Amino acid sequence: MNFKITDENFDNEISKIHTPVIIDFFASWCGPCQALSPVLEEIEKKFSGKLSVIKIDVNSMPLTSEKFGVERIPMVVLLEKGKTKNAFIGYRNAEEIERWLRENLQKKDDEGQEKMKEELIAFSREYAERAGYKLNEDEKTFNRIIDGLLSNEEKYGQRYCPCRRITGDKEKDSKNICPCVFHKEEIEKDGHCFCRLFYAKQ
């Protein structure tokens, strides 16, 4: 990090960091600490922009070390939004640390995806009710469509209908943002939209 972190400014400086943070509690006399340091430096480079590493000398920052319950070193703590997510004590190689990080950070990604899916399903239900339609009652097909919408949002930034071709022309493709401009005519004609997300009520 480019700033000088101390016991006094720790909370304030941590609050400015928008990525997950690894805190490496170490001491200059600790052999395993010296071995772990370059490993964490490489990890920070590999996860550049997605992860920050802060080194804390337990002798220079006793209050912060006490706050995190540091009794043995090296101790590595993973923070998200200022809160401890996980920690380990002792030396680990790069492969072990990457696996540890991915396991902990993947949980956040999965939770985020699940929340987005719940929000999209709620939106689809509200729209169908408001427009006088019903949703596809086949659970497998319904989930496939929802997953396709979320996948397109992740790839292209918009919830484009998964059943339509994406040209790359934002103006043309905007017509395919769900609920697309074609769905009302399709439901009136065929009883359902092309993707089969929305159906006419019987």
Q: Is 195 a catalytic residue?
A: no
CA distance 159 to 168: 14
User: Among residues 64, 92, 120, which one ends one of the domains?
Assistant: 92
Q: What is the pTM of this model?
A: 0.54
CA distance 150 to 26: 43
CA distance 101 to 42: 14
Q: Tell me if 147 is assigned to some domain.
A: yes
162 lies in the same domain as 115: yes
Q: Is 30 a catalytic residue?
A: yes
184 lies in the same domain as 119: yes
Name residues of the chain where pLDDT drops below 50: 1-2
Structure tokens at 95: 């492969």
pLDDT of 108: 54
Point out the catalytic residue in the list 30, 180, 193, 195.
Answer: 30
Q: Tell me if 100 is assigned to some domain.
A: no
pLDDT of 38: 95
Q: Tell me if 103 is assigned to some domain.
A: no
pLDDT of 3: 58
Number of domains in the chain: 2
Residues 59-118 pLDDT 10s: 999 999 999 999 999 999 999 878 888 999 999 999 999 989 888 876 555 566 778 888
123 lies in the same domain as 83: no
pLDDT of 105: 79
pLDDT of 141: 94
Q: Which domain does 195 fall in, by range?
A: 111-200
